Structures are given as C-alpha cells and as structure tokens.
Amino acid sequence: MYKVKVYITLRESVLDPQGAAVQQSLHTLTYNEVSDVRIGKYIELTIDKTERDLDQLVKEMCEKLLANTVIEDYRYEVEEVVAQ
C-alpha cells in the first residue's frame, strides 16, 4: 500500500484572491509580519499495491483530475506503507 501526498499550488503568475483575503484578515488580527499568503490544496491518496507504474499513475491522476495544469503546479511524495 502506498500513501501519496499531493501538493497543488497556484502558479506564481496567477493571482490568488483567497490568499489575499486571508492575508488581509491576518493583518486585521495584528499579524502584520505576514507579507504574502498563497493557498493551495493538499491531497492524501491511499493506493493499493498495483502492477501499474506508480509514478505514471499519480501523474495521470494529477493531470486528468486533481490539478488544473493551466494555472496550477503539482508535486507529490510517495511513501510505502508496510502492513503490520
């Protein structure tokens, strides 16, 4: 079994209004040190043992469904989970 952690972030060039709103709220709460906020998604996939190539599989899932590659970047980490 594998645990795959996928991080999806907006590309640098894309405006992040949600991040801007959070930054504004943090300033209102007196956290003026915060100079930038970017909000992305964090997805944990649990994948059963498979004959298919895992890297290939995860890339396909990200590009077809999880990320919008026009405006988002993704990266992922794979962890093998050993059943106890």
Contact residues for a second copy (CB under 8 A)?
A: 1, 7-9, 19, 22, 25-26, 29, 31, 33-50, 52, 57, 60-61, 64-66
Q: How far is CA 6 from CA 32, 37, 39, 55, 60, in A?
A: 30, 19, 14, 12, 12
Sign of torsion over alpha carbons 30, 34, 39, 42:
negative
CB of 15 to a second copy, least distance (A): 15
Q: How far is the CB of 70 from a second copy (least distance, A)?
A: 19
Choose between 48 and 55: whose C-beta lies nearer to a second copy: 48
